[in-house]
Chain A
Amino acid sequence: MKIAVCGKGGSGKTTISATLTRLLARRGLPVLAIDGDPNPNLVQALGLGPGVEIESVPRSVVERREDENGASHMFLKQPVAEIVSQYGVKAPDGVTVLVGTRVDHPGAG
């Protein structure tokens, strides 16, 4: 299951994301939390403590390739599990946290 948490800035979205992540993990589920907010504080809200800096997933994990119809798309250059183990950081309750790439190109791909 892929869960997106949305809301206005300051709504408590990050606290809710982090707390729900920890609670799902306590139910024995493997959970990957992804900070997609350019103002990153999910890491602290998950309980990793102040001052913990996590390298965000770099743009170099993708490349552009043409699909079978000749349209250009973004493709991951390595398996997702490898990206998660390389850039993911372990948080309490067995949660893994990834910090998303800061600049998205919504018009691309």
Chain B
Amino acid sequence: MRSIVGEIVSGAKEVTVMDMEASIEHMSRGTVKHADVMLVVLEPYYRSLETAGRIVPLARGLGIQRIYGIANKLRSPQDDEAVRTYCGNHDLELIAAIPYDENVVEADRTGRAVIDYDVTSAIVQELTVVAERLGREISAEGNGVGGKPNV
């Protein structure tokens, strides 16, 4: 099973970040199978966690070793707790917990990237930690930008 994006990702020399289709039903396995790392965005709501509950086993089934959770739009300690409990119960490592960030809305309203709108935004700060970690993992892979061998 192949997809155009999958073939491009497979052969790309760069670090690639794929913003995947929202619906798990339509998520192309031919694309996802090339991922070294899957980041699953979790909102502290039942339907978001339920979606994650279907994505994660699929990704594991495709042999993706590194699957990390990123909690987003947390508005309270209860939200934080809900996501942490979910991840604990599902053996999913949570690598960032991003609070609800009004800067995202404002940046979007003015047609700007949030990193350009306000680099001190909570979302940028949290994702800086993720980028540092992935940067270390890329270095540890030892072959430049790293990644699965091209097939």
Residues of A within 8 A of B (CB): 1-24, 26-27, 29-39, 42, 44-47, 49-50, 57, 59, 61-62, 73-76, 79-81, 83-84, 92, 96, 98, 100-101, 104-109
Contact = CB atoms under 8 A, between A and B. Distances in A.
B35 to A, nearest CB: 4
Interface of B: 1-5, 7-24, 26-32, 34-43, 47-48, 51-52, 55, 59, 64, 70, 72-73, 98, 104, 108, 111-116, 123-124, 127-128, 130-132, 134-135, 137-138, 141, 145-148
B38 A6 contact: yes
B115 to A, nearest CB: 5
B131 A27 contact: yes
Contacts, number: 263
Contacts of B146: 1
B150 to A, nearest CB: 9
Contacts of B32: 4, 6
A26 B130 CA distance: 13
Contact of B34 (A2, A11, A29): A2
A3 B39 contact: yes
Given A16-B41, A23-B115, A57-B4, A6 B20 contact: yes
